[in-house]
Amino acid sequence: MQSKWVAEKLIWRAYENCGMPIAVYRPAIIGVNTITGAKSSAEFLYRFLQTCFTLNAYPDLPDVLLDASPVNYISKAVVSLSLRRDSQGNAFHINHPQSVSINGLIEILLNDTESNLQKIKYSEWLKLLQQQNTDTKLGSLKMLFEPLWEGNRNIIDFRRLRPRIDAEQTRQKLEIMGLNCPSLIDTNF
């Protein structure tokens, strides 16, 4: 996060001091392609969901909101905005107009699959994850949660990882250009 902040400060300095034509694009969590279903297996969200399906359970986190936007929407938004002269010297927050809770996202997925995941307490879900062998495909995700076991905390505050940013001005500009963010309900997971 700090390196992004430093890089952005350098970009703004180049704009202010040298008049370089720049624009800054700040996407939300980059999610699945809503047309093809393609996704990055390296992304935390994908690994988290994969872990839930592997464990056949998901943590009950109704108040934890995700700000994920489809990769195809984010890429079209960046390209469309970058081709406009009036974008120079601006920063654009590109996120989904509606956040969805972790529970809500999993319920959307369950409607599209024949899976029967159990909703369990977060502390129980952590215990299930902790019992997994680190050599499995869950190993990298398991390592992210290990500090929670050592500190005996029983919930990670996902909201601190990604604050909700107001992107209304960017969204309005994109809508005028004919770009609307696809609904998560219609996504091809």
Q: Smallest Cα–Cα separation from 165: which of 62, 76, 67?
A: 67
CA distance 76 to 182: 12
45, 31 Cβ separation under 8 angstroms: yes
Residues 90/25, Cβ–Cβ less than 8 Å: no
Q: At what angle do helices 44-55 and 139-150 cross, to 10 degrees?
A: 90
Residue type, 147: P
pLDDT tens digits for range 27-73: 888 877 777 777 776 677 777 888 888 889 998 888 777 778 888 89
Q: What is the mean pLDDT of each run of 10 residues along the chain (189 residues)?
A: 84 91 89 75 75 88 81 93 93 86 83 82 84 65 59 48 73 92 66
Q: What is the pLDDT of residue 141?
A: 66
Per-residue confidence (pLDDT) for residue 100, from 0 to 100: 81
User: Closest Cα partner for 67 from 101, 33, 41?
Assistant: 101
Q: Give the model's pLDDT for residue 130.
A: 80
The pLDDT, as a whole number, for residue 155 is 46
Q: Is the pTM of this model over 0.95?
A: no
Q: Does the CA dihedral 96-101-107-109 come out positive or negative?
A: positive
Predicted confidence at residue 16, as pLDDT, reads 92
